[in-house]
Chain A
């Protein structure tokens, strides 16, 4: 974890820095004796964790948190136990340490911060993965056009081409139903007929051997009907 220390007291900065150097995975990038300099630094650098003294002249720790955009994780350091309640009003505050800081309590706070950082990292990885997975690029007139897969409600085979129908636009692409079927997520899309792949979540109703999607009535082949029925959340 990349961290910075903000404390107007040199002794406090030295003690925190010592604890950090004794712990694996903690890298103190900078130390600041005032919050203003730290704010300037944060405009150009990203950190995972800030050790922040509450009681500083002029611009205190709470002012600092309220001022910076998207504050990273913060461990408050204070000589005043009464600040503990106020501390947890801010989501970015992971823990608070009462001075003089002892090692056991320091490790506990770092573990909390480290868990929060890894959960946030996992979330970011998942959403990055999802955003890549949700997109399909199709070649139309030598241009690769991006289509949001959840917006597709129907794909229809038209000879050597397929028509992709989305909420906002239709696309005619030189491809086959089989090829696009492989690219679309199984849990949302289903081939209901040799000429049609539908987005199950967009079905309005089903009558006999047809489904209504948007304004399109799509035939469901006899062999595909049981699979479709299985995929529906039937009452």
Chain B
């Protein structure tokens, strides 16, 4: 399975440690709340809200260098409005791997 990485963050920060810390702080704050919006919407089966939550999470997925994960999320987002949740488990595994990765950096 594809692993999250810092390649995009490194190219953006170019050694600016202060900015990197600031960016990671914002991501660490924002990501859990975006995840919560997703799971909450999933619970009440608000399809529009679920799709929007996935859409927003796509940016974080790409920031953490998950190119295949991004493609999967994009496909999942499109499927949600057709009430197709076959990709939900793979998508949630991506979220889990990101959660774990953010604890390590």
Among the 9-residue stretches A5-13, A175-183, A209-217, the one with 4 or more Cβ atoms under 8 Å from chain B is A5-13
Complex interface residues of chain A between 75 and 89 (CB less than 8 A to chain B):
79-80
Give chain B residues whose Cβ lies under 8 Å from the Cβ of A79: 55-56, 58-59, 62
Given A11-B26, A11-B27, A18-B19, A99 and B59 contact (CB-CB distance below 8 Å): yes
Interface size class of A (residues with CB under 8 A): 10 to 19
Tell me the nearest residue of chain A to B65, going by C-beta. A100
Question: Which bracket fits the contact residues of B?
Answer: 10 to 19
Flag whether B63 is at the interface (Cβ < 8 A): yes
Residue of A10, A55, A57 touching B26 (CB-CB under 8 A): A10
Hey, which chain B residues are within 8 Å of A12, CB to CB? 59
Would B22 and A14 count as touching, CB distance under 8 A? yes
- B5 CB to nearest chain A CB (Å): 13
Q: Which of A1-33 contact B (CB under 8 A)?
A: 8-12, 14-15, 18
Residues of A with C-beta under 8 A to B59? 9, 11-12, 79, 99-100
Near B by CB (< 8 A), chain A positions 95-132 give 99-100, 102-103
* Interface: B85 (CB within 8 A): no
What is the CB-to-nearest-CB distance from B93 to chain A, in angstroms, rounded to a whole number? 20
Q: How far is the CA of A18 from the CA of B12 in the complex (A)?
A: 8
Contact check, B52 vs A57: say whether CB atoms are below 8 A apart: yes
Asked if B101 CB lies within 8 Å of chain A CBs, one says no
Q: Which of B37-69 contact A (CB under 8 A)?
A: 52, 55-56, 58-60, 62-63
A80-B55 in contact (CB<8A): yes
B30: A residues at CB distance < 8 A: 9-11
Q: Which residues of B contact A (CB under 8 A)?
A: 8, 11-12, 19, 22-23, 26-27, 29-30, 52, 55-56, 58-60, 62-63
A interface residue numbers (CB < 8 A to B): 8-12, 14-15, 18, 55, 57, 79-80, 99-100, 102-103
